[in-house]
Amino acid sequence: MPQKAANKKINNYTITGIIGKGGMGQVFLAKHPTLKRKIILKQLKLKDKESKERFLLEAKVMLDFRHENIVQVYDHFKEGVSTYIAMEFVDGKALNTLIEEIEMLPVPLALFILYQAALGLFHAHQKKVIHRDIKPHNILISKDGDVKITDFGIAYRSTGDNDQQLTAPGTVIGTPAYMGPEQFSTSRDVTIRTDIYSLGIVFYEMITGVRPYKNEFSSDVIDAIAKGKYIPATKYVKNIPPIARKILKKTFNPNPNARYKSLVPLIKLLRAYFKNMNHYELKNSIKRLLNNEQDFAKYPVFKHLKETQTKAKRRFYLTVVFLFISIGSFLFIYTNRYYEWIGASKYGKVKIQFKKANLNKDNIFIGIDGVYEKAKLGKQKVIKKLTIEEYENEIISQVNNNDRIFLNSLYKKKKPNEESEPAYILSKNLSSDEKNRVMKLLDSTIFNTYTKELYIPVGEHEFSVMAGSYKNIRREIILPRTMQRSNAKYQTGQTVYIPIGPIGEKDVIVYFRFWNSLNPNKLLFIFENYDKDNGLLQDLLKEENELYIKLKNNNYITLKRYLRGFLKNTKYAPFYTNHTYHFMVKNFDLNGVNYDEKRFSVNFGLDDRTVVVHVPLIPTPGTLLLTSNQKSLPLILNNKKSGYIYTKGDYQYKQYTKGETEKIGDKLYQFKYQIPPGIYQIKFDKDDKPQRITIESRKTVKLKIEKKNGKYIF
């Protein structure tokens, strides 16, 4: 408590009490003349130059601070033989007094005090000021729960070339119990990490109630500090939270490089920790600490933490119960335990099975009572290490006699005692025709069998396989699982096998439409699939000769000739389902425009009956060859700077400046453009008068361009 003093004035400050006295001066409690609030007035009586300069340095340093967690300095002045500093009065206690009274501060409140102190100290570091004497005595706590750092009397300010310090190099200064190892050597080693170390010791003392080191300059103390020998906080405090352990590890460490580089990570860590806490509750709880209230359970912050922990536990248990129920339900339903136990009298187990034969595997749907889903055939099944006899039982028994003879002939190519693998693995020993035949046989055997297991209600159901216009239906009565399990035949479920034999090929009517690739609306010519029964054979003779078809001997003949042979000599149709045909349109001219050769294939599926094929044909380009004394030409065709340019067998739409350029002489350049045949208006400047040129397929138009007086001449 401040001692009462007579109402005297010192430089407009009314003295209301004396807080302390010493050999260097006094500390007064005073009243600010304009702010009308209590302040602290520190007096220095000593006349030695160093003490005065240190006193003034503290005032100058603290005058630059404007932070709620640093004691504010209002003024400094000289009156008579004394020097004074007027500063903020903190109505509360120093942290060391609070530790003496409480002994061990609750960790959450110690963390909040540390958080506020770190914010104030970080502000000082931003001003390039190192405190060098962080200890509980210099951390004040107000009755409102605010934390403020004070006493920058031995602070060090780095200002570049003129660092402000009053301690000679090599001088040890500070409070031993809170000094970092580097502080005992030379002030040149002192950095912001030194303050961070001291802050870590303060935190240790807050939660344990003891200092880790004795407060004396002795070789034993200095050696212990240098080696980090102290009693761990866990010996004093049980169940220290992970955040406290991490802070002690990253602050209170004898190796400066192992500490935080700045206070930013510490502040972020603490800010995240207090994110969901009410700061008013925290400050109210610190206020109760100052009043020495021992029942922590009544503190607002601990009530909040207890509620939070209760909610967290409730959420945890609810989550565990939910996961247990979810996992149990998943296992119960998706492992079919429901159908095997509870629903065994209402549901039966079914294995739907069929072989895809020559159906298109990408277009097969399986249906139950009219509800369809796509059948996933997956990869071909590989049966390894079978003897020839076993292999015959699996494969050969499923094919007709001619195919059986064919497959047996392939096995004779194998060595006497060599184990057999599926025939398609032997493809390296087969000719192209043999390989194709083997693959077709495999398509109709066990290698493309579809199997689907499921549980469905008991009773009669319709099972079907659909692929395009093909549909195969089988009806079957499904027994309940209770009856299935009592019958050896159905213990693993009833198999509903839908027999699908190779589907017969049908004729396809084909129409071709050929279009200009650059003008999709321009029809070049058509080709019809003629039928002799409809009297269209004569019309076939009128067809164009441009379209060719590839024969088995790899030769091409005109499609007109191919169809005419079918219509005259056979009763079969020219095109069939489940076949692939290869066509070619040879180079041809139409209305003065030549078109590139085009090769394409058409595959007819099992359900294809009438097919119209639209094919784009590419006009053969002509060449525009420009020679100029200019390194680049701004070509404009038909008032456009971009257009179709023929590149690598097709046209690309791009700027004409992207054409082929080549230097062919001294200051002479050649520009080559392959463009669609047609009539063009050409110019090189928007104000030029265009000239007309005609580009023909496979022909070259040459122009010489010169630029004179800013104009292009050609």
Helices 264-273/242-251 angle, 10° precision? 170
Find the angle CA(491)-CA(497)-CA(501) to the nearest 5 degrees: 160
The residues near 653 (Cβ < 8 Å, ≥ 6 apart) are 642, 643, 644, 645
Helices (H) and strands (E) in the chain, counts: 16, 38
680, two tokens: 């063009």
- Can you say how many angstroms the Cα of residue 530 is from the centroid of all Cα atoms in its chain? 58
What is the sign, positive or negative, of the torsion defined by CA atoms of 701, 706, 712, 714?
negative
* Cross-strand partners of 644: 653
- What does the buried/exposed string (b/e) look like for 410-420 if buried means 16 or more CB atoms within 10 Å of the residue's CB? beeeeeeeeeb
Contact call for residues 629 and 668 (beta carbons, < 8 A)? yes
Torsion of CA 17, 21, 24, 29, to 10 degrees: -20
Cα(714)–Cα(688) distance, integer angstroms: 11
Cα(598)–Cα(582) distance, integer angstroms: 11
What is the sign, positive or negative, of the torsion defined by CA atoms of 441, 447, 448, 451?
positive
Burial class (CB in 10 A: 0-12, 13-18, 19+), 9: exposed
Cα(482)–Cα(625) distance, integer angstroms: 87
H/E stretch holding 457 reads: strand 449-457
User: Which of 620, 551, 617 is CA-nearest to residue 583?
Assistant: 551
Residues assigned a catalytic role: 133
* Cross-strand partners of 681: 692
The residues near 571 (Cβ < 8 Å, ≥ 6 apart) are none
Cα(661)–Cα(657) distance, integer angstroms: 9
Cα(666)–Cα(313) distance, integer angstroms: 87
